[in-house]
A and B are shown apart, each in its own frame.
Chain A
Amino acid sequence: MAAPLRSWIRAGCQTLQGFKDSLSMSLLQKRNLNVTRMLGTEKEAEAVEEAEAGGEAGEAEKDSRRKVVSPETSMKYLDSEAFALGYRGKPVWFYYRRNFKGGKPPPTRRTCIRKGQLSTASPCPICRDEYLVLNFQNVKLLEQFVSPYTGEVLDSMLTGVCQKQHQQLIIEVMRAWDEGLLEKKLPTRVYDYEDYKS
């Protein structure tokens, strides 16, 4: 009895040590602390860091499980057949069904994407489709999240998007209002002619 237990503990310690080693290695890879300590001048250190960052980004792109799509590609996607087939002419959040316990829905999750990849089994309508990029120029996508009756951005409880995407959506809608790509709901300005007669 003791022998298997001891071996199990040893195995556990080994894996723990292995985990610690891999963590420190990844930290070293991200920021080559040894190199910066060795180099005397700041300029050389910056050059090395830039090279590292470029290399890392290149490596990240090769390794990432989530494709990075440009806003222009996203705009083309919204006009494509694939989009029409997938979403059947409805808003992108229409057929999404949230999973939660009970009758009253809680607020949507903070984010679906952690460390560059999906970390949930049921991601929100925007995170689940890599080709849906929230951008102020992507008016067709933004319009789906703005109420045609009130002119306000739809609540995340209705659309089911995660909070991070909801904040990004609000920012992009405000940018679109600023550029005049989306029509904002305006109050009726009332004038008193007497003010202008002086």
Chain B
Amino acid sequence: MAASFISRTFLSYTSCGSIRTLKDAVAVGCTRRNFVTTGKYQQANSEDDKLNTVQNSQGATHQDPFPIFSKQEVQGLLERITGFNALKVAGPQKKPLQRAVYKLLTDEQLDKELQEAHGRLKEKLQMPPFMNPYKDNTTPLSLDPDLADFDTAKYVFTDISYGVKDRHRHVVVRELDGSLNIAPRSTRERMNQIYNPREGREFFKPRMFNEQNLERMISKKQYIYILDRACCQFEPDDPDYVNVTRRVYSAVNDAKAFEDLRSTRHFGCLAFYLVWNRMSDLLLLDMLNRDLISDAKDLVILHCIIHPDSQCATSVGRLEKEEPVAVVKAYIETEAKLKAQLELSLQAMEDAMRTKEKSEERSSS
């Protein structure tokens, strides 16, 4: 019995024909199985769909969030909420030492350079996908009891053809009992790192993601670094990634440290997580305190998209004009848990706006 798992990998060197040969090898003398592991997205229309729901780290049952997250409308909302503080996005970074480059430009050339720089900075704000943790497909591709105990270790076969994306790479394992299975995700991640190493991704999970170290770093408010490293190390549907990110989001929520994450790529996911789990009151309060009324409106609209059956969605739907203050009021009256505080800050914000308008009228007249 092989107590410790040792894998010997077979490298398929042919570039075009490798997938075909692998499939043929699998098909000989056995039934073909479907390689598709993840289920299709289903609309939450009936009670039956709730059986397909997946449990997230908070304990609430929901359907797959990624199709909603990747909608154009939702992405636009989240981008607007994130904001774009150019000084923060293009701020001090660790990079190789370079000499400064001086250019003499016309106005048009300068505008073009600024636009290109803006585009480059926007790429930095791309949000990592918000997904539920994966579930391994354990159905075997073929059962060959005649091959049982062929060796003391399992064999892992990896398709290393050029041009195949890591997520779609075929990795199969010949178990000791002779069965051929699709490799579990952990094995596939290891094989990807061996044959296609990526900068910033370690072969072994860094000790930084252990309980003690995570707690220490969260208490020191190193939120952005933890999230950045999690993005580099894990896939978005890895259970470790999901645990770490959800933990950091709830810590940010408890500490009300939303300003730390604003204008970073993680703010959109944070907002989506809070709205998905109906915990967005503190974020809304923060927006109202900073006079970000359009952001507050966007947050409420997001809530209506994610929870279309909620009271808030129906009351916002009934409004004739989607004015920011009216939309936020609808949310506070129906869904909010921190009703008093939200009403107070909304009132304060309205007063501030009114005084500002009056002073502007006086100065103009």
Contact = CB atoms under 8 A, between A and B. Distances in A.
Interface of A: 148-151, 177-180, 183-191, 193, 195-198
Contacts of A185: 94-95
A178 B97 contact: no
A187 B129 contact: no
Nearest to B165: A195
A178 B128 contact: no
Contacts of A190: 123, 126
A180 B213 contact: yes
B200 A189 contact: yes
Interface string B198-212: 011010001110000
Contact of B126 (A148, A178, A191): A191
Nearest to A198: B38
Interface stretch (B8-16, B229-237, B312-320, B352-360): B229-237
Contacts of B70: 193, 196-197
Interface string B166-196: 0110000000000000000000000000000
B124 interface: yes
B66 interface: yes
Interface in B20-38: 36, 38
Contacts of A195: 165, 167-168
Interface in B209-232: 213-214, 216-217, 222, 225-226, 228-229, 231-232
Contacts of B202: 178
A150 B36 contact: no
B240 to A, nearest CB: 14
Contact of B236 (A150, A179, A187, A196): A196
Given A149-B94, A186-B200, A196-B131, A179 B38 contact: no
B96 interface: yes
Given A180-B213, A197-B70, A187 B207 contact: no
A184 B231 CA distance: 14
Given A187-B200, A193-B129, A180 B94 contact: no
Given A180-B217, A191-B126, A196-B129, 17 more contacts: A149-B95, A149-B97, A150-B94, A177-B206, A178-B202, A178-B207, A179-B207, A179-B208, A180-B207, A180-B225, A184-B229, A185-B95, A186-B229, A187-B232, A189-B200, A190-B123, A195-B168
Q: Which 7 A-B pairs have the closest CB atoms?
A: A180-B208, A151-B94, A185-B94, A189-B231, A187-B200, A180-B213, A196-B129
29 contacts: A148-B94, A150-B95, A150-B96, A178-B207, A178-B208, A179-B206, A180-B208, A180-B213, A180-B216, A183-B225, A185-B94, A185-B95, A186-B225, A186-B232, A187-B199, A188-B124, A189-B231, A191-B128, A191-B236, A193-B70, A193-B129, A195-B168, A196-B66, A196-B70, A197-B67, A197-B70, A198-B36, A198-B38, A198-B168
A196 B237 contact: yes
Contacts of B67: 197
Contacts of A193: 70, 129
Contacts of A186: 200, 225, 228-229, 232
Contacts of A184: 229
Contacts of A149: 94-95, 97
Interface size class, chain B: 35 or more
Contacts of B200: 186-187, 189
A191 B97 contact: no
Tell which of A185, A188, A189 has the most Cβ of chain B within 10 Å: A189
A180 B210 CA distance: 10
Contacts of B228: 186
Given A150-B94, A189-B232, A196-B129, A180 B206 contact: yes
A183 B128 contact: no
A157 to B, nearest CB: 15
Nearest to A188: B124
Nearest to A179: B207
Contacts of A183: 222, 225
B215 to A, nearest CB: 11
A197 B39 CA distance: 10
A190 B199 CA distance: 12
Given A186-B232, A196-B129, A178 B237 contact: no
A149 B93 CA distance: 8
Interface string B270-302: 000000000000000000000000000000000
A183 to B, nearest CB: 5
A189 B217 contact: no
B94 A191 contact: no
Contacts of B97: 149-150
Contacts of B129: 191, 193, 196
A186 B237 CA distance: 20
Nearest to B228: A186
A64 B236 CA distance: 54
Contacts of A151: 94
A188 B67 CA distance: 24
Nearest to A189: B231
